[in-house]
């Protein structure tokens, strides 16, 4: 993960080094990512690998709107 931004619904999105974006919601019990709630803990996740589902599908890179 190289950065984060919020989408139009105010959900957090990880920016990946491959050029794709992936939602990183904290929505227990389905998605448990409490680190996304605070700037400090999001920054600690920078550089961590996140499996890119879009790369697995061969999708082109995303673009910020």
pLDDT confidence bin for 65, thresholds 50/70/90? low
pLDDT at 30: 85
- Residue pLDDT, tens place only, 20-36: 999 999 888 888 999 99
3-class SS of residue 64: coil
Cα separation, 14 vs 65, whole angstroms:
15
Question: What is the reported pTM?
Answer: 0.86
Share of the chain above pLDDT 70, in %: 98
CB-based contacts of 59: which residues, under 8 Å, 6+ apart?
20
């Amino acid at each position: 993960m190289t950065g984060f931004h919020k989408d139009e619904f105010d959900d957090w999105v990880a920016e990946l080094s491959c050029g794709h974006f992936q939602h990183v919601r904290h929505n227990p019990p389905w998605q448990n990512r409490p680190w996304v709630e605070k700037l400090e803990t999001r920054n600690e996740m920078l550089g961590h690998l996140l499996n890119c589902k879009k790369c697995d599908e061969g999708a082109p890179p995303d673009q910020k709107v």
